[in-house]
Amino acid sequence: MQKRIYGIETEYGIIFTPEGRKTLPVEKAIRFLFEKLITTEHFLNVFLENGARFYQDTGCHPEYATPECAAPGQLVIYDKAGERILEDLQIYAEEKIREERIPGKLSIFKNNTDFVGNSYGCHENYLVDRDVDFYYLAEQLIPFLVTRQIYTGAGKVFQTQDGIHYCVSQRAQHIYQKISGTTTNDRSIINTRDEPHADREKYRRLHVIVGDSNMSEYTNFIKVGTCSVVLQMIEDNYINKDFTLRNPVKAIKDITYDASCKRKIRLDNGREYSPIEIQREYCEMAQKYIEQYPVTDDHKKAVIMWQYVLDCLDTDPNKLDRQIDWIIKRKLIQSWVDRHKTDWSDPRVLMLDLQYHDIRRERSLYYLLERKGAVERLFTDEEVDAAKSTPPQDTRARMRGEFIKLARENSIQYDLDWSNIRLGNLLNVRVICNNPFETDTEKVAELVRTIQKTNLRKTSLSKLVIQS
Amino acid sequence: MATFIRDPKTLGTHRQVDAQADPMPFYLAAGEQKQKNKGGGGDDGDGEKGEGGQKLAEKGDELKEEMDELLDEIDNVLEENAEEFVKNYVQRGGE
């Protein structure tokens, strides 16, 4: 598929740190995040003006799902916009909590683990053609997904019995299966959840749950861009080599422990390759593929970056200390450790790791580097800010976003999911949009006009009330 | 300024700092830097002596200053009760 829908769901870590004796359990703290949002939808589950969804997920994590995006670059912008939206909500929530006379700090982290073994995910979604055999697709994709962490990992300071170890990926240790149907226990590389939110005859959803949440725009872009190219190659039957791993779950853990990225892992056919070598094979195929097949500009960019990143990993990974999350963070911590003449077992090192991922920019170490120009950006603040309130113009999200604006302006009662809009006092008017590429906003505007004409009693959109 | 976190010790083995100033798309910039690395490989060793060496040393001092400044700022924002904070940071498993 050349035209594809992309989406990322990010679960955030959240903690309230009281400054006095009074504290707030996280189940209550998280509710304050929703207080600024105005909607008639269910509490703790809201669609936003940019077409994204924001809700409370399993384990009391705030979760942001990007709107349907039509390109990897666009997706990275909307994922970043989610951080900004959450930052706004967090600042507002912190004030509100203070007004309740519970002084303290509400912190939100875009990472995937705490330090005692709990994990929360970052799920990539790719719309794929129903005609392609899913298990074939998954098997072909798994060796790629297992080894890609060398340039998509967000890095993690890991405490073991033997001391501190710096891992490439946040998520890798929490993967126990190749393919499975659950996401909370027995987490897998690929999840079989098949909710395309589109015509089921034509499409299915590929739900990749092995990835790390990325702070770096560069890392995030290359993560989605390369995966998307590989996906397209599989769909076109272009991959003519077999990288089936003997034990992908073991391999993913071995790779995350090996910051050299050069330790060999065993293939099913008995041969041994390093993750860099396997990635190089995919990358070389992709280079030929983009010469022969029609691909988007984002795909071409991704392949150029891919080769550059692999070259650096091969010769000197530290060259990527502006581009790749796990290397940026490692460099940051190492410099700090050197400065303080301490070592990695210093308890503050874990805090450095965590605070890299803080979404509040004034507290975040990633954003400190960004302000200093010490990380490479692909997009501008203007682009990210615009994406907070404007939906992508080339997917169904445009209709949803426009609708939400109109419904609010006209005080119309509504309820939404990805492919349905329900409106009117009884929510008895329903619009179904099964085509995620549909952008006909006039249809939506007409509907709103119809509702106005039928003279339905206007309901006022009441602000949500927090129950404490 | 593009060089805050670069370690002076390894300056020169990395891509040229000036490459950052080139107004070119990010994806081309990556390829360009690579070429410069390859082409500039010989310069690194020569840089130890003569005028080039001095420039390199000056650049190194400058980088060290920038690095110190950055590290100061990290210490300013780093959570004060780091150990306690990390201990309390226990999340429920998500998806």
Q: What is the 3-state secondary structure (H, E, C) of A335-376?
A: HHHHHCCCCCCCHHHHHHHHHCCECCCCCCHHHHHHHCCCCC
Give B39→chain A minimum CA distance, Å: 15
Among left, alpha and beta (phi > 0; psi -120 to 50; other), residue A377 is beta
Residues A379 and A424 both lie in one domain:
no
* CA A13 to each of CA A26, A90, A365, B44: distance values in angstroms, whole numbers, following the listed order: 10, 12, 16, 44
Residues A193 and A119 both lie in one domain:
yes
What is the value of pTM for the model shown? 0.88
Largest Cα span, chain B:
60
Residues A427 and A313 both lie in one domain:
no
Residue in chain A lying closest to B20 (CA): A376
A463 Cβ contact list (under 8 Å, min separation 6): A38
Q: Is residue B94 part of a domain?
A: no
Residues A346 and A440 both lie in one domain:
no
Q: Is residue B2 part of a domain?
A: no
* CA A430 to each of CA A53, A54, A208, A404: distance values in angstroms, whole numbers, following the listed order: 19, 22, 31, 14
Tokens standing for residue B31: 């390829």
The answer to whether B4 contacts chain A (CB < 8 Å) is: yes
Largest Cα span, chain A:
73
pLDDT of residue B35: 40
- Using the 3D structure, point to which of A386, A407, A434 is the last residue of a domain: A386
* Cβ-based burial of A209 (10 A; exposed 0-12, middle 13-18, buried ≥19): buried
The C-alpha R_g of chain A, in whole angstroms, comes to 23
Residues A400 and A382 both lie in one domain:
no
* Mean pLDDT, contiguous 10-residue spans, chain A (468 residues): 92 95 93 87 90 94 98 98 98 95 96 95 96 94 98 96 94 94 86 93 95 98 98 95 96 97 97 98 98 97 98 98 98 97 96 98 98 97 98 95 89 89 79 89 78 55 29
- Domains of chain B: total: 1
Give the domain CATH number at A14. 3.30.590
Identify which has the larger pLDDT, A332 or B61: A332
Tokens standing for residue A28: 């209550």
Coil vs helix vs strand at A4: coil
- Checking DSSP bridges between strand A104-109 and strand A414-416, what pairing results, if any? unpaired
Residues A427 and A324 both lie in one domain:
no
Count of CB atoms situated within 10 Å of the CB of A32 = 23
Q: Cβ B95–A121 below 8 Å, yes or no?
A: yes
- Domains of chain A: total: 2
Q: Is residue B47 part of a domain?
A: yes
Tokens standing for residue A244: 């089936």
What residues in B contact A209, CB-CB < 8 Å? Answer: 95
pLDDT of residue A454: 62
Residues A81 and A191 both lie in one domain:
yes
Q: Is residue A465 part of a domain?
A: no
Residues A307 and A415 both lie in one domain:
no
Q: Is residue B17 part of a domain?
A: yes
- Using the 3D structure, point to which of A363, A386, A409 is the last residue of a domain: A386
Rounded to whole angstroms, the Cα distance separating B73 from B80 reads 13
Question: Phi, psi (5° rounding) for residue A400?
Answer: -65, -45
* CA A165 to each of CA A7, A169, A252, A326: distance values in angstroms, whole numbers, following the listed order: 32, 12, 16, 13
Q: Which domain holds residue A30?
A: 6-386
Query: E-assigned strands of A318-410?
Result: none
Count of CB atoms situated within 10 Å of the CB of A8 = 24
Residues A272 and A415 both lie in one domain:
no
pLDDT of residue B61: 86
Chains A and B: how many Cβ contacts under 8 Å?
Answer: 147
Rounded to whole angstroms, the Cα distance separating A62 from A48 reads 14
Tokens standing for residue A462: 């009441």
Tokens standing for residue A40: 């008639």
Q: Which domain holds residue B52?
A: 8-88
Tell me A259's DSSP state. T
Residues A249 and A365 both lie in one domain:
yes
What residues in A contact B73, CB-CB < 8 Å? Answer: 368, 372
Query: E strand or H helix at A191, and its extent?
Result: strand A188-191
Rounded to whole angstroms, the Cα distance separating A164 from A343 reads 10
- Checking DSSP bridges between strand A188-191 and strand A177-180, what pairing results, if any? parallel
Q: Is residue B46 part of a domain?
A: yes
Q: Is residue A467 part of a domain?
A: no
pLDDT surpassing 80 at residue B76: yes
Residues A303 and A423 both lie in one domain:
no
What residues in A contact B70, CB-CB < 8 Å? Answer: 335, 368-369, 372, 374
Name which of B4, B88, B95 is nearest A184 (Cβ-Cβ): B95
Give B42→chain A minimum CA distance, Å: 16
Q: Is residue A300 part of a domain?
A: yes
Contact A121, A110 (CB under 8 A): no
Residues A375 and A403 both lie in one domain:
no
pLDDT of residue A408: 87
Contact A22, A102 (CB under 8 A): yes
Confidence of residue B50 (pLDDT cuts 50, 70, 90): low
What residues in B contact A184, CB-CB < 8 Å? Answer: 93-95
Rounded to whole angstroms, the Cα distance separating A52 from A373 reads 29
Q: Is residue B1 part of a domain?
A: no
Coil vs helix vs strand at A97: helix
Count of CB atoms situated within 10 Å of the CB of B4 = 22
Give A290→chain B minimum CA distance, Å: 15
Q: Is residue B33 part of a domain?
A: yes
Is A57 noted as a catalytic residue in this protein?
yes
Tell me A33's DSSP state. T
Q: Is residue B32 part of a domain?
A: yes
